[in-house]
Amino acid sequence: MPDTNKQYDEVIAKCREMFIYKMGDYGPNWRILRPETLTDQILIKAKRIRTLEINGVSKVGEDIWPEYMGIINYGVIALIQLDLGYVDDVDMSREKALELYDKYINATKTLMIAKNADYGEAWRLMRMESYTDMILSKLQRIKVIENNGGKTRVSEGIDANIQDMINYSVFALIKHNESL
């Protein structure tokens, strides 16, 4: 049986490396983004994945796998922004950004481990397209919650939905890596 924890860490290592490269290019300029903007950025990536799944061809020559990585990294950024809020000027060092990245991805992995135990790794039985649909569903939930001022009565909040989107993206990348 595959080692989900090890596979998860391998996927995150690649995403974290991309996060570091992007910060080398731009710094933590994402600190100015409002949570709603991050929701929309993740939506763009998820819609592109779905379009490529349906059409089977990319006009720009890129496949869906970097988009899943983008959802993971933007998801972590969104969790940071939910906690710290946005700013008008970048106020964070690259080192602090990476420290926060690790904090939020570790919390998200902890959630995955708990859910994976409860659900018996059911994600391994899902079709690839279902990950995309679940991410799009979570985005619709987040947009409703955002439009309601971030409040829910009985449902999970924005942060839990973001963590689920990150984990679905990790699962998609694990399954992709297994198929190579």
pLDDT digits (tens, 9 = 90+) for 73-105: 999 999 999 999 999 999 999 999 999 999 999
**E strand spans, the chain:** none
pLDDT of residue 155: 86
* Residue 39: half-sphere exposure toward Cβ, Cα within 13 Å: 20
pLDDT of residue 129: 96
Secondary structure element (H or E) that encloses residue 38, with its range: helix 35-55
**Does residue 158 or residue 61 have the better pLDDT?**
158
* Residue 71: half-sphere exposure toward Cβ, Cα within 13 Å: 33
Q: How many CB atoms lie within 10 A of CB 31?
A: 19
**String of DSSP letters for 83-116:** HH---SS----HHHHHHHHHHHHHHHHHHHHHHH
pLDDT band, residue 58 (cuts 50/70/90):
confident
Nearest to 16 by CA among 105, 78, 94, 87: 105
- What span, in angstroms and rounded, lies between the C-alpha atoms of 31 and 15? 19
| CA torsion through residues 117, 79, 38, 58, sign | negative
Question: What average pLDDT does this structure show over 1-9?
Answer: 92
pLDDT band, residue 32 (cuts 50/70/90):
very high
What SS3 state is found at 66? helix
